[in-house]
Structure 1
Amino acid sequence: MAQHLTFTDPKALATSFATVDFETLTPAGRRPEPTEVAVQVRRLNADGTWEETARFEALIRPPADVPVTDFDTRQTGITAAMLTGARTADYVLADLEQGLLGHVPYILVAHNAPYEAGLIHDRAAVCPTLARTTLLDTVRLARTAYPELAHHRLDDLLRHHRLPSPAGRHRAMPDVEATSEIFARLLADGARDGHWSTLADMRRLAGVTPKAVLDDEEAARPQQDSLF
């Protein structure tokens, strides 16, 4: 949907925005295991309109010892049978990494981005560029743009904008498309109200620095000489 606000920051106009969402299983005592990922890549035009340049979606087969429960299926509609022939997370994330290399420079966009950042970091060995890419968190942007709202969940923001919940809500691509639309509205509303005018402003307010980047920075620091 077009946003009727001109956004002139050259870095924003030169950047691809890749909205990402994972569906996951949450085994007790373990890190979440992804069962689906989707990405929609869009570019912002100087007249405030958006252009989709790519999309990616894939089911992901979890480890054999992580079952898909009835609760999981009720939440997402994804069944164990659907995942039987899917590729593992390492193969899917490596494939996504290669696809996104054609859209550099890009920044990731996600709702509750630290969660997505953690899932990507778990596979940093197979997607090192993706794992070092900054994320913009639409939850943090929404808290700045819409402080009057009691909550800033994706459903809350859809209701705030009188947008219908997408068919297939809680599947990765419908959630990505909803998040992309909310992000476009956030960018326009926040710019109109003076919260940001550049990509750097948004990164300062809502950027999530990947753990791999923090680890790289820590490793690059000069080590203090031993006192003994």
Structure 2
Amino acid sequence: MGGLTRDPAFAATTFVVIDFETTTPTGYPAQPIEVAALALRFQDGAWRETGRSTSLIRPPVFAPVTPADTAQTGLTAEQLRQAPNAAEALGALDQRLTADTPYLLVAQHAATEAGVIHHQAEHCPTLARTNLLDTIPLAKRLIPNLPNYKLDTLLHHFNIPQPTQRHRAPDDVDVTAKVFLRLISAAEEDPRIDGLPALFKIAGRTAKANKPLQAELFDV
């Protein structure tokens, strides 16, 4: 393998691929209705899964599941009626992040996941302080000239089969993880990406909780 995976900081990091499905009520930020996370670590020359979590989430009354949400995800209000609320589901996920372990979240279009986490930060403070890697800018650097960098386009490029439940968090996490690992393999061939700092410079996104207050005021 190349310089990236030989970097001690890279080897020490647990990469948590995360995806939310949401409903977006008028006048409110997106509210999660499903979350999935898959933890990966590069150890002894190979990737290993070190954890997995998924949960449906009951949305608040001001953010009901709409027909459009159901058409997109297949999730219905009836399915979510007995699900844990966001505080319970995200609190449980947060508790799975162990102290003193370096983490980076990984997401396709990480701004979306970052926004959901930021607005739920009181329920998942550790998650809210975890920086992110976005597969889109990494793909743009490593695979120039694709028509676009949507997840479906990247799946097609890498010959990764479409999941059976596209737009459900567990399946989307699985295929996003596959894309991420293919991108890391490609990054190994790029001498400019010689370690975790170089990777983060290309694809990193600082969690809002880690930004100075003045920076947050002007963050759009």
Same fold (TM over 0.5): yes
Counterpart in the other structure of 1:224:
none
Q: Separation in 1 of the partners of 2:161 and 2:36?
A: 20
Q: How does 1:111-122 map to 2 (within 5 A)?
A: 111-122=108-119
Q: Which structure has the greater CA radius of gyration?
A: 1
Instruction: Map Cα deviations across residues 146-186 of structure 1 (whole Å, 9 max, x no partner).
Output: 11212011100000011111111110011001011100110
- Taking the aligned partners of 1:44 and 1:217, their CA distance within structure 2 comes to 36
Q: Secondary structure at the match of 1:121?
A: helix
Task: Give secondary structure in 2 for the equivalent of 1:162.
Answer: coil
Q: Which residue of 2 aligns with 1:223?
A: none
Contact 1:135–1:207 (CA under 8 A) maintained in structure 2: yes
In the superposition, relative to structure 1, how do residues 176 and 216 fare at CA in structure 2: closer, same or farther (>3 Å)? same
My pick for the range that moved more, 101-110 or 184-193, is 101-110
Report SS of the residue matched to 2:209. helix
The residue number in structure 1 matching 2:195 is: 198
Residue 222 of structure 1 is matched in structure 2 by none
Q: Which moved more, 1:7-16 or 1:192-201?
A: 192-201
* Post-superposition CA distance 1:42-83 (Å, at most 9, x none): 111342x21101101000000112221121111111111110
Amino acid at match of 2:152: D
**TM-score, with normalisation over the residues of structure 2?**
0.92
Q: What is the letter of the counterpart of residue 175 of structure 2?
A: A
Cα root mean square deviation, aligned: 1.8
The answer for the alignment partner of 1:54 in structure 2 is: 51
Aligned equivalent of 1:156: 153
Paired amino acid for 1:144: R
Retained in 2: the 8 A contact 1:16–1:42?
yes
Q: Secondary structure, in 3 states, of the residue corresponding to 2:111?
A: helix
- Report the Cα distance in structure 2 between the residues aligned to 1:102 and 1:53, rounded to whole angstroms: 15
CA distance in 1, matches of 2:214, 2:121: 16
Pair 1:64-2:61 in alignment: yes
The answer to whether residue 124 in structure 2 is matched with residue 140 in structure 1 is no
Percent of aligned positions that are identical? 44
Say how many residue pairs are matched.
215
Separation (CA, whole Å) in 1 of partners of 2:215 and 2:153:
38
Match of 1:184 in 2: 181
Instruction: Report the Cα offset of residue 9 of structure 1.
Output: 1.0
Match of residue 29 from structure 2: 31
Change (3 A) 1:94 1:216: farther
What is the CA-CA distance between 1:193 and the residue it aligns to? 2.9
Aligned with 1:15 (options 7, 13, 16):
13
Query: Aligned equivalents of 2:136 and 2:17: distance in 1?
Result: 13
Secondary structure at 1:125's aligned position in 2? Answer: coil
Secondary structure of 1:148's match? coil
| Equivalent-residue separation in structure 2 for 1:45 and 1:154 (angstroms) | 27
Equivalent position to 1:44, from 24, 42, 55: 42
CA distance in 2, matches of 1:133, 1:186: 21
Question: Which residue is 1:226 aligned to?
Answer: none
